[in-house]
Amino acid sequence: MSRSRRFFLKSMGASAGMSALYLAGSTNMALAAQNIQDTIAGAGGLMTDNEGFWKAVQKEFIVEKDLIMLNAANMTPTPKIVHDTVIEHTLDMERNCSFQNRAKYGDLNEKSRAFIAGFLGADEDEIGFVRNTSEANNTVINGLDLGPGDEVLIWDQNHPSNNASWHHKAERFGFKVVTVSTGDTLNTVDDLLAPFKAAINENTKLLSFSHISNVTGTTLPGKEMAALAHSVGAKCLMDGAQSFGYMDIDLHDDGVDFYTSSGQKWITGPREASFIYVKKETQPELWSNMVTAGWGGVKDRGARKYENLGQRDDGRVWALGRAVEFQQMIGKDRIEARTSYLASNLIAMIADRIPNSQSLTKQAEGFNSGVTVTLINTPNAAEAARKIYEEHRVSGMISARDDVLRVRLCPHYYITMDQIERTVDALVASI
């Protein structure tokens, strides 16, 4: 067992006992309120449709009354332990920003690194802290040596930081970006893989894709995609902005070379605190994106060389670790099952009550996600978009174009079924 796994399991054992934060010079903060600790400790199985359990979990969030937050693909609220940690350390730094007081973050950041590594089936020296997925993706894009004759294969549903950024670098260095599209009907894993198999070749140096599309909610099979890339000697970048904190992931088992993500999405962590995973064997091929003070201490310490940022808000890095702890306390498998349950019910209810709707999130079995996208034909699309938020207090990514309402709703584990029902009521009442 790796050091990160041992540390993670030991730490999770302490968390299961709800030990307080052990930080010198800081108020002790329990991982969660006593009532939710007791609720989780007494739970058995996935608890997928146990509304009492999830309503207790929901109390750890301070979302405005009557506001239904269905925008996890963009930004989530944080549980109390996360925002309390951010506030605690912000105040601590305002009171004492001396070198001596800041020294504690060396230890806390390493604890956070160990939590993340254990959570994702990685080693500690494969995790480097960055601010968000865009910075992580660009660390890879700017760090690889590519030139004329080389090809990078991308998915047309990638986020701009994993799409437009490749084209920008290709203009400068002369390599080729090949973009593929997946079909509208994706019934099997082979349907998902087929366009990539058709486009990959001996000139392909990297296969770069979003694990889950923020455009349609389609999930690509990470392990099979990595194997496809490696079959032609290429590397594999999996953008996990929509899977970190939602899916139960084992990066060593998946075999990807790079994995990127954001803290402010599904992991319910703080803003501007995230990480990049770089497989140990791949690190010699990836240059650092930034070099500044402290380089000599990190350049030979694995993925730490990709976090040579300079001054940063270290309290947020520690808060990211606490977000991982909180989800691990609830259970990764429970969170994935619950989120998928909410999303599938939401899709089914919309289809049943709004006949003139089209779901873009009906994909191969097991490859849907918490991201649901629906198109609704309505003559008052712009007015409907306004009403959904302003009058019914449903927050998602909702836009209007001509007579089509595009509704992206992304439920997560802090949402309850009665809120899903209220959301569908709001859609029906608004169109």
* Mean pLDDT of the region 9-25: 36
- Per-residue DSSP letter, 20: P
- Per-residue DSSP letter, 24: T
Cβ density class 202-223: b for 16+ within 10 Å, e for less: eebbbbbbbbbbbbbbbbbbbe
pTM of the model: 0.91
Give per-residue pLDDT as tens, 232-267.
999 999 999 999 999 999 999 999 999 999 999 999
Strands (E), 247-371: 258-261, 274-278, 357-359
Give per-residue pLDDT as tens, 397-412.
999 999 999 999 999 9
* Reported confidence tier of residue 361, pLDDT bands at 50, 70, 90: confident
| Dist CA 183 CA 199 (whole Å) | 14
Domain architecture of the chain: domains with CATH: 334-430 (3.90.1150.10)
159-162 LR contacts (CB < 8 Å, sep 24+): 159/133, 159/134, 159/210, 159/214, 159/239, 159/241, 161/133, 161/134, 161/137, 161/239, 162/137, 162/208, 162/209, 162/210, 162/237, 162/239, 162/260
* Reported confidence tier of residue 29, pLDDT bands at 50, 70, 90: low
Give per-residue pLDDT as tens, 382-397.
999 999 999 999 999 9
Enumerate residues 6+ apart whose C-beta is below 8 A from 75. 264, 265, 271
Comparing 28-37, 126-135, 350-359, the range with the smallest average pLDDT is 28-37
Give per-residue pLDDT as tens, 146-193.
999 999 999 999 999 999 999 999 999 999 999 999 987 777 889 899
| Dist CA 303 CA 273 (whole Å) | 16
